[in-house]
Amino acid sequence: MNDIELHRVKLLVEQARAGRQTAFAELVSMHHLRVWRFILKSVHNPQDAEELAQETFLAAWRSLGSYRGDSRFSTWLLGIALNLARNHCNRSPSRREVELPEAEQLESLLAEGLDPYELVRQKHKLEALQEAMAQLPQELREVITLVRLEGLSLEEAAGLLEIPLGTVKSRLSRARSRLVEDMHAHFS
């Protein structure tokens, strides 16, 4: 987000805190897709992700007064979404599969410029990566998802997960190493 968008979000948050439901509805509109995609990466089911996204925004509306503005509003929302997704996965262990929703987008991009053999090779790599992500322990998967897939800074991820910055760095490093090892083993 650029400075203008950040200022707009800040203004909408202030208006929503004052009780303007239309301001909160605009915040929901601005952030819904990102929250839904974030949750989908954990729950692997679009309908469950939609329900959890709605729960995220309901919880955000109820606790808007507790948002201090120390982090971006989107980061705060992802924190709520993360907790709801964790609870959902803990209640339903069979739903811990990981699927990167960008897979279909990547496939269509690959199809535009690659020959069929390269497309199959890239698709195979993506499937192997998804499998390797699913094998990561939850704490490593969360860090790599927040930092690499959601684009949060290390500091934002640390705040969201309520862990020290050094822990985020070490978990990210361990996650990368495990993924490299798994990918290397898969293709050796």
- Predicted TM-score (pTM) of the model is 0.69
Buried b (16+ CB within 10 A) or exposed e, 67-83: beeebbbbbbbbbbbbe
108 and 59 in a common domain: no
What is the chain's length? 188
Q: What CATH number has the domain bearing residue 119?
A: 1.10.10.10
31 and 87 in a common domain: yes
114 and 90 in a common domain: no
106 and 80 in a common domain: no
| CA–CA separation, 54 and 116 (whole Å) | 40
- Residue 99 is predicted with a pLDDT of 47
Compute CA 86 distance to the chain's CA centroid, rounded to the nearest angstrom: 12
Could you list the residue range(s) of the whole structural domain that residue 141 is in? Answer: 102-187
- Residue 95 is predicted with a pLDDT of 45
108 and 39 in a common domain: no
Domain count across the chain: 2
| CA–CA separation, 139 and 174 (whole Å) | 10
Q: What CATH number has the domain bearing residue 15?
A: 1.10.1740.10
8 and 45 in a common domain: yes
Per-residue pLDDT of the chain (188 residues; tens, 9 = 90+): 678 888 899 999 999 999 999 999 999 999 999 999 888 888 878 899 899 999 999 999 999 988 888 788 999 999 999 999 988 887 865 544 444 445 555 555 445 565 666 767 777 888 888 888 888 898 999 999 999 888 899 999 998 898 999 999 999 999 999 999 988 888 87
Contact call for residues 106 and 126 (beta carbons, < 8 A): yes
For residue 49, CA distances in Å to 43, 122, 125, 132 come to: 6, 27, 26, 22
